[in-house]
Amino acid sequence: MEPRTSGTARNGDVELYFDAYGDSSNPPVLFVNGLGSQSINFVPAWVHGFNRAGFCFIRMDNRDVGLSSKTPGQPPKYGSSP
């Protein structure tokens, strides 16, 4: 199943990549993968199931992952102070 819409949403210098499946007039369901995992990891059967149930399925890549923009420098370490 090909996405109905693919693209990027921009806020300042950050671009987040997304794919949307199904009728955009249906209620949207946004799926966000865990840290370091691309949106393509969602099982295709989920997309089909949510579309059949009458939802517009939207999946996205977090910042610094997949097709979303990458930020410069090293990520902060957990538990460290600025």
Quote the pTM value.
0.77
Residue 66 falls inside a structural domain: no
Residue 29 structural domain:
5-60
What is the four-CA torsion angle of 15, 17, 72, 65, rounded to 10 degrees? 160
Residue pair 24/51 in contact (Cβ under 8 Å)? The answer is: no
Distance between CA atoms of residues 35 and 46, nearest Å: 20
Residue whose structure tokens are 């610094």: 64
Residue 15 falls inside a structural domain: yes
Q: What pLDDT does residue 53 have?
A: 96
Residue 71 falls inside a structural domain: no
Residue 70 falls inside a structural domain: no
Residue 80 falls inside a structural domain: no
What burial class does residue 27 get, using C-beta atoms within 10 Å of its C-beta: 0-12 exposed, 13-18 middle, 19+ buried? exposed
Count of domains observed in the chain:
1
Q: Give the pLDDT confidence of 2-57 residue by residue, as tens digits.
A: 778 899 999 998 999 999 999 999 999 998 887 778 888 888 898 889 999 999 99
Q: What is the CA radius of gyration of the chain?
A: 15
